[in-house]
Structure 1
Amino acid sequence: MIQTLDERQQKIQALRTSISERGVKHFIDGAWADSVSGETFETATPIDGSFIASVASGDARDIDLAARAAARAFPAWRDLSGKERRRILNKVADLIEARADEIAHLETLDTGQAIRFMKSAAARGAENFRFFADRAESAQDGLSLPTQGFLNYTIRQPIGPVGVITPWNTPFMLSTWKIAPALAAGCTVVHKPAEWSPVTAMLLAEIMDEAGVPKGVVNLVNGYGESAGKALTEHPDIKAIAFVGESSTGSLITKQGADTLKRYHLELGGKNPVVVFADADLDKALDAVVFMIYSLNGERCTSNSRVLVEQEIYQEFTARVAERARNIRVGDPFDPATEIGPLIHPKHTEKVCSYFTLAAEEGAVIAAGGQVIEGNFVQPTLFTQAASGMRIAQEEIFGPVLTAIPFENDAQALEIANGVKYGLAGYLWTNDLTRAHTFAQQLEAGMVWVNSENVRHLPTPFGGVKASGIGRDGGDYSFDFYMETKNIAISLGTHKTARLGVSQPQPARDEADRKLAE
């Protein structure tokens, strides 16, 4: 249904009023709660910096309450049948779909992401819950590994209460991406969302509660990384941490949790290459390159922030990218025609824009953009004539900024593509079948798409190598993280056991002892 501008503004204002009056609270052991300290912080929209709501600011005391609640709830949730967990998780998906419009609008308000993308983000959240709901009954399944004299079989069992720390970019979808498999596996959860975008985490907790997730199974604690986040990573009742965010923060989390020997799944940063060869379908490659760097405001870990272009087509291709970048619509993220909204926060805007000056200092050309429009609104930007050693080609900018680097041959392209500390995703455009397979296998990345942008298939593994992370999400790969694999060996009674401390060993035992010694 097409809305008029007035109708859209009225809807947004009604949502803002509701959130502002409620405030953003913790959800601990099935109840909404203020912080033990009574402290709050404010969250503001990046659109114009105006106030959205006061947010409960958690610390170690709130985390302790949530972790203890998760620990108490764990045995019953673990022992609940997979069929019943499936029913509850599908109900969560139903409610997400019923409130998709509300979720999308609040996500746009809180993050600045264009509403055209946030509508699909809400749908993706429901899809995540349905996907893992369907696997709840088989999550414990293992393997039959018979050998002579024994029947061996494996089972998977939930690891226990887990901490989920989610980022500020597309926070609703990424929260479901972590929480859904944890619940399907039989784990309980303490969720700490990013302080820059906490609003929709409250909606997700509300939805899960309404769907019948028992109290204590999912807990929400808002707060800053150095207080609530640190306490979560250090808490002894929390057996694993699933984190999405910056590589430096991922490193810090592993240090904080070292004393309690936690398991970690770290989905971290990227400086992903898209390699365009002259033999590619350049029209399709152009569409994919532009989409994967400028959609979602460039604030996505899998964006192709480096485009490597074969020398013979470099000038033509980068000129076409620059033209498209200049035509992208930047503006009100609630306008369905808008393609790029404001960046998440003034501090992040300042960081992104610092690379404009740096690019000029390093000798690159700003072929498009390179300016702040106003506030957190930034022009889609293209740097050309860049070299691999430049900071603009090495560091994760995490905004609508693309660095274009020419290459002469396959070997040089591979060297440039792999010549960063990150290794999350890679994209390759060529019509040479042999090159496609060879190059893709040699790329240092956890995921590679050939002749495509990032098109996710939920059963496939998602994750990176090097500084881009540890572990994999997706399909049964998620259960490898949230569950322990146990082997059970059943003797068939035919093997011989060596006997010690027997004064007169039987001949058969002597032979068994001899073989054991060998």
Structure 2
Amino acid sequence: MTQTLNPNHALAAQLRDTRLSAGLRHFIGGQWVDSASGETFEAHSPVDNSFLVQVARGDDTDIDRAAQAAHDAFQNWKEVGGAERRRMLHRIADLIEQRAQEIAVLESLDTGQAIRFMKSAATRGAENFRFYADRAPAAQDGQSLPAPGFLNYSIRQPIGPVGVITPWNTPFMLSTWKIAPALAAGCTVVHKPAEWSPVSATLLAEIMDEAGLPKGVHNLVHGFGESAGRSLTEHPLIKAVAFVGETTTGSHIMRQGADTLKRVHFELGGKNPVVVFDDADLDKALDAVVFMIYSLNGERCTSSSRVLVQEGIYDEFTARIAERARNIRVGDPLDPDTEVGPLVHPRHFDKVMSYFDKAREEGATIAAGGERVGEQGNFVTPTLFTGARNDMSIAQEEIFGPVLTAIPFTDEADALRLANDVKYGLAGYLWTNDLTRAHRFAHGLEAGMIWVNSENVRHLPTPFGGVKNSGIGRDGGDYSFEFYMETKNIAISLGTHKTARLGVGQPPKVTPKEVEG
């Protein structure tokens, strides 16, 4: 983990001096401001847990200011035409691309993610804005639904100010994934990023301001979930909350928003299976299994954290996984050769480390990894558990690190039972060359997204989201607009229908349609 001088280190040092030394502030109503209370908190580098940046600590007062700013700005932003919103969002995408290296370095510095992946994450952030920019002109489009005697047509209208609460893993990309469709729909935003990785949210706010986004359309408030986050989810001016994070937190947000009947969209936890049958292309399956659990430090909601392997190939296939895991390069996240960096925070590091003892206690074998790396920072070895059963905590609980649990299965029915026997249902992966089985298994798998003979390859128009404890709602394509917009039906009479008459001295003739609702 020796740090050698490279351009990423030089840029990181420069950014520490020029961008982070002054601390991070809120962005409310088009102005950079301190917390009303004057309070701050510290964010630390996961490489060595040293001080990284001082951050304004928002509370009820700051959220109220931001919500009011979003409410006021919404009155004008909702009237801005789709073509103008498209132009604005494309400008944001241009600026993201221009600052992609800066975004990637700061994201690595803040989260511990390897720079090789953060460059792609910044690029995907720009793609998200471009994708929704091009959909902005048609965001309000509805349908023509004629009926006898009436012309019915539907339109979509933005729901209003929305709260966006984003997680600490790949925070920049995931922020764009929520904020871009909200802006394209005509909503205004109050964004509360995760307190463990607050840096890139400031860059995004700067970029949107530089692009000319009107004051108050996007607002940023830093802070903790139990204070700023709770205030955001309870605020009466916030009409909906989009959240990415832990399932337990999602439950809290749903309760907190109940009094104001808030619409919620949740992308929550996962314990996603990758199922490998003995007829699969095992070389390709191996690459995908290794990539989907050990890339991004294993801190990804769609990671394939359980590998179910048909028993006839179980020993050989898991031995190959173990060999690959031992060869993964763990180290400085700013080093282009690094494949796995440090975990984001000491508390998360301790959580992941605790599962190594749990695995031993439950009778599983640590076939690779299971150790801390180095004397400082939050580094762990890529880990594989073998000899596991599906009732073990290592197979049921979301570890959210570079840790894979391998479970054998006998046949298709056994594999499907094991795959579905968790409380989560975000994603699933299937490797087989039997086309009929692929379709049959995919239909039976309890997950919102399934890839057959592939790792997670996202296509932006497709729905993204989970079932069971993995979430509510879908992102992607027009599915996002279903959350950020209200659908309104307008019925125009052609003057040919007859209205039932009351009070004329005879029983009215009422049709079933006239008494609905």
| CA-CA distance at 1:10 after TM superposition | 2.1
Secondary structure at 1:382's aligned position in 2?
strand
Q: How far does the alpha carbon of each residue in 1:409-447 deviate from its partner, in whole angstroms, 9 at most, with x for none?
A: 000100000000000000000000000000001000000
The aligned residue for residue 285 of structure 1 is 285
Distance 1:438 1:394, change over 3 A: same
- Asked if 2 retains the 8 angstrom alpha-carbon contact of 1:23 and 1:53, the reply is yes
CA distance in 2, matches of 1:445, 1:210: 40
The aligned residue for residue 459 of structure 1 is 461
1:469 is matched with which residue: 463, 467, 471?
Answer: 471
CA distance in 2, matches of 1:510, 1:77: 47
Distance 1:151 1:171, change over 3 A: same
Q: 1:174-323 maps to which residues of 2 (within 5 A)?
A: 174-323=174-323
Distance 1:513 1:157, change over 3 A: closer
| CA-CA distance at 1:502 after TM superposition | 1.9
| CA-CA distance at 1:7 after TM superposition | 3.8
Q: How far does the alpha carbon of each residue in 1:466-515 deviate from its partner, in whole angstroms, 9 at most, with x for none?
A: 00000000000000000000111111111110111124x5xxx9656899
User: Which amino acid is the alignment partner of residue 209 of structure 1?
Assistant: D
- Asked if 1 retains the 8 angstrom alpha-carbon contact of 2:45 and 2:111, the reply is yes
Secondary structure at 2:118's aligned position in 1?
helix
The aligned residue for residue 33 of structure 1 is 33
Distance 1:21 1:407, change over 3 A: same
CA distance in 2, matches of 1:20, 1:174: 22
Query: Which region of structure 1 is more displaced relative to structure 2, 479-488 or 5-14?
Result: 5-14
- Percent sequence identity over matched residues? 75
The aligned residue for residue 397 of structure 1 is 399
2:413 is the counterpart of 1:417: no
Secondary structure at 1:216's aligned position in 2?
coil
Q: TM-score, normalised by structure 2?
A: 0.97
> Runs (4+) of structure 1 moved beyond 4 Å?
509-517
Secondary structure at 2:315's aligned position in 1?
helix
Q: CA RMSD in A?
A: 1.6
- Asked if 1 retains the 8 angstrom alpha-carbon contact of 2:329 and 2:340, the reply is yes
- Paired residues, what number? 512
The aligned residue for residue 8 of structure 1 is 8
- Asked if 1 retains the 8 angstrom alpha-carbon contact of 2:8 and 2:105, the reply is no
Secondary structure at 2:265's aligned position in 1?
strand
| CA-CA distance at 1:303 after TM superposition | 0.0
Query: Which region of structure 1 is more displaced relative to structure 2, 19-28 or 399-408?
Result: 19-28
Distance 1:510 1:66, change over 3 A: closer
CA distance in 1, matches of 2:221, 2:49: 24
Distance 1:493 1:332, change over 3 A: same
Distance 1:15 1:386, change over 3 A: same
User: Which amino acid is the alignment partner of residue 384 of structure 1?
Assistant: T
Secondary structure at 1:174's aligned position in 2?
helix
| CA-CA distance at 1:49 after TM superposition | 1.2
Q: TM-score, normalised by structure 1?
A: 0.97
| CA-CA distance at 1:11 after TM superposition | 1.5
CA distance in 1, matches of 2:66, 2:41: 20
CA distance in 1, matches of 2:10, 2:166: 30
Secondary structure at 1:27's aligned position in 2?
strand
Q: How far does the alpha carbon of each residue in 1:256-315 deviate from its partner, in whole angstroms, 9 at most, with x for none?
A: 010000000000000000000000000000000000000000000000000000000000
CA distance in 1, matches of 2:138, 2:163: 23
- Asked if 1 retains the 8 angstrom alpha-carbon contact of 2:500 and 2:509, the reply is no
Secondary structure at 2:385's aligned position in 1?
strand
CA distance in 2, matches of 1:460, 1:271: 21
CA distance in 1, matches of 2:513, 2:263: 40
Q: 1:469-508 maps to which residues of 2 (within 5 A)?
A: 469-503=471-505
Distance 1:478 1:6, change over 3 A: closer
2:472 is the counterpart of 1:450: no
CA distance in 1, matches of 2:270, 2:503: 61
Gaps of 5+ in 1: none
CA distance in 2, matches of 1:270, 1:407: 20
| CA-CA distance at 1:19 after TM superposition | 2.5
- Asked if 2 retains the 8 angstrom alpha-carbon contact of 1:156 and 1:486, the reply is yes
Secondary structure at 1:308's aligned position in 2?
strand
The aligned residue for residue 132 of structure 1 is 132
2:383 is matched with which residue: 381, 389, 395?
Answer: 381
Q: 1:36-75 maps to which residues of 2 (within 5 A)?
A: 36-75=36-75
User: Which amino acid is the alignment partner of residue 427 of structure 1?
Assistant: Y
- Asked if 2 retains the 8 angstrom alpha-carbon contact of 1:499 and 1:513, the reply is no
CA distance in 1, matches of 2:240, 2:408: 43
Secondary structure at 2:443's aligned position in 1?
helix
Secondary structure at 2:397's aligned position in 1?
coil
Distance 1:377 1:149, change over 3 A: same
| CA-CA distance at 1:516 after TM superposition | 7.3
Distance 1:511 1:232, change over 3 A: closer
Q: How far does the alpha carbon of each residue in 1:335-357 deviate from its partner, in whole angstroms, 9 at most, with x for none?
A: 10100000000000000010000
User: Which amino acid is the alignment partner of residue 345 of structure 2?
Assistant: H
| CA-CA distance at 1:5 after TM superposition | 2.3
User: Which amino acid is the alignment partner of residue 460 of structure 1?
Assistant: T
Secondary structure at 2:43's aligned position in 1?
strand
CA distance in 2, matches of 1:326, 1:359: 18
| CA-CA distance at 1:51 after TM superposition | 1.4
Secondary structure at 1:259's aligned position in 2?
coil
Distance 1:516 1:309, change over 3 A: closer
User: Which amino acid is the alignment partner of residue 62 of structure 2?
Assistant: D
